[in-house]
Amino acid sequence: MAKDVMEYRKDFPLLMNDTSAYIDNAATSQRPQCVLDAELKFYMEQNANPLRGSYPLGVAATEVYEDSRKVVKEFINASSTKEIIFTRNTSESINVVAYSYALDNVKEGDEILVSIMEHHSNLLPWQMVADRTGARLKFIECDRDDASVDLNKVEELITERTKIVAITQVSNVLGRENPVRAIADLAHAKGAVILVDGAQSTPHMAVDVQALDADFFVFSGHKLMGPMGIGVLYGKKKLLKNMQPFLRGGEMIDSVQRESAKFAELPHKFEAGTVNAAGAAGLAAAIKYIQSIGFEYMQERELMLTTRAMEGIKKIPHVKVFGSDKPEEHTGIVTFAVDDVHPHDVSEILASDGVDCRAGHHCAQPLLQYLGVNSTTRASFMFYNTEDEVDRFLKSLATIRERMGYGN
């Protein structure tokens, strides 16, 4: 049975030590003690270079690393651990697909379809592929008011020339979940593959890559309470098998001759050099922590916090929330603007009142241009945030215009 949130907060050393209200969870979440312990345990008790030594410590290190892969496989319901590749983060995972799949499968005249709401990490690699191959980059736009994507328009945009559709499951600015399964079906009907960016979905909802029929699925450990520097690339085995490795060296080989090399089997073919085994152990601990709480409880809390924030903002004149007016369509993300006040001033005033929020373009400049703004402020909640933190945020927000010299 789920505990009271104050009990869960005790699992997070930083939340216990820091008095500010941390509501920048979409940038990175906080880590529970069990994640820190798993990393420390690796270095204190299991440290050797994984996948190499046959002495007991080397075997233990390999076991920790490969057991973590099994935990990730179950977490996203991949059909095999061969489909789980550890990377540094979402950005690196997308780059692997861009360099190792796209450059070999996209040619001049082909099309790559992304959405207007992509994080730069799911845009710049495709710009590179388009530049190098002569392919055309096309954009799925969303509704400016409620952030929804019109599947009829997506269907029109996907043509026989489309080779890749790359789309986020949840926007890091608007928080709305995209209908990625339906988009996968449309992509597959035209012979294209789909990459789903799960950076903002995996911390908040159960993901089943087989149910989504994603060809590639990517996410970062640090956004779901795991360590920084560990990420995941899931790919369907039949695709990964035919791809060339992105990085070369270390244990990603089967055999090496003077002028050629035979690569290792999946997934090691894509994991060059010494791997982040402590990070993988921490990620597995984070996933087990999430599983011990359950997404149901986390979602219930995140919806309550989002609703409280959005209802509160409605009562503050001159503050506009971007995206849907339904809190359940925000995945804990509330991006807003205060009339006449620059978002950096908004976040500085909030910070002076002990509220940690992010201001800027949120690495989604094309989306902000599309919405007609240069920057915004974003509050993003995790289940461990409290009603009191939302109220502190609202109380501070309500004073901002006055403190900047504007009347209400």
Residues interacting with ligand PLP, by CB under 6 A?
89-91, 119, 121-122, 168, 172, 197, 199-200, 220
Half-sphere CA count of 177, side-chain side, radius 13 A: 19
Nearer to ligand PLP, 279 or 312 (CB): 279
Q: Which residue in 34, 142, 357, 363 is the catalytic one?
A: 363
Give least dist CB 100 to ligand PLP, A.
17
Tell the residue number behind the tokens 């995206």, with chain if given: 323
Query: Residue 147 has which token pair?
Result: 């952030």
DSSP annotation string for 322-363? -S-S-GGGSTTEEEEEETTB-HHHHHHHHHHTTEE-EEE-TT
Cβ atoms of residues 383 and 296 within 8 Å: no
In a 10 Å sphere around its CB, with 0-12 CB exposed, 13-18 middle and 19+ buried, how is residue 398 labelled?
A: middle
* For ligand PLP, the closer CB: 170 or 390: 170
Structure tokens at 43: 């270095």
Phi, psi of 45 (to 5 degrees): -125, -20
Nearer to ligand PLP, 94 or 130 (CB): 94
Nearer to ligand PLP, 221 or 312 (CB): 221
Work out how close the CB of 13 gets to ligand PLP at its nearest, in angstroms, rounded to a whole number.
Answer: 22
> How far is it, in rounded angstroms, from Cα 320 to Cα 255?
59
Nearest-5° angle of CA 199, CA 202, CA 207?
Answer: 125
Query: Least separation, in Å, of the C-beta of 26 and ligand PLP?
Result: 6
* SS3 category, 366: helix
Amino acid sitting at position 139: F
Nearer to ligand PLP, 84 or 400 (CB): 84
State the alpha helices, DSSP H only, in 196-340. Answer: 209-212, 237-241, 277-293, 295-314
| Phi, psi dihedrals of residue 385, rounded to the nearest 5° | -70, 160
Smallest distance from ligand PLP to CB 88, Å:
8
- In DSSP terms, 1 is beta-bridged to none
Could you confirm whether 357 is annotated as catalytic?
no
The least distance separating ligand PLP from the CB of residue 3, rounded to whole angstroms, comes to 28
Nearer to ligand PLP, 30 or 168 (CB): 168
Tell me how far apart the 2 most distant CA atoms of the chain are, in Å. 75
Length of the chain measured in residues = 408
Q: How far is the CB of 203 from ligand PLP (least distance, A)?
A: 10
Amino acid at 336: F
When the beta carbons of 39 and 110 are compared against ligand PLP, the nearer one is: 39
Residue 24's beta-bridge partner residues?
Answer: 380
**What is the number of other CB atoms lying within 10 angstroms of the CB of residue 270?**
23
d(CA 220, CA 31): 13
Judged by beta carbon, residue 196 or residue 319, the one nearer ligand PLP is: 196
Q: Are 120 and 363 in contact (CB under 8 A)?
A: yes
Q: Within 10 Å of residue 93's Cβ, how many Cβ atoms?
A: 32
CB 255 to ligand PLP: min, Å: 33
CB of 121 to ligand PLP, least distance (A): 4
CB-neighbour burial class of residue 333 (10 A; exposed 0-12, middle 13-18, buried 19+): buried
One-letter amino acid of 216: F
Active site residues: 363
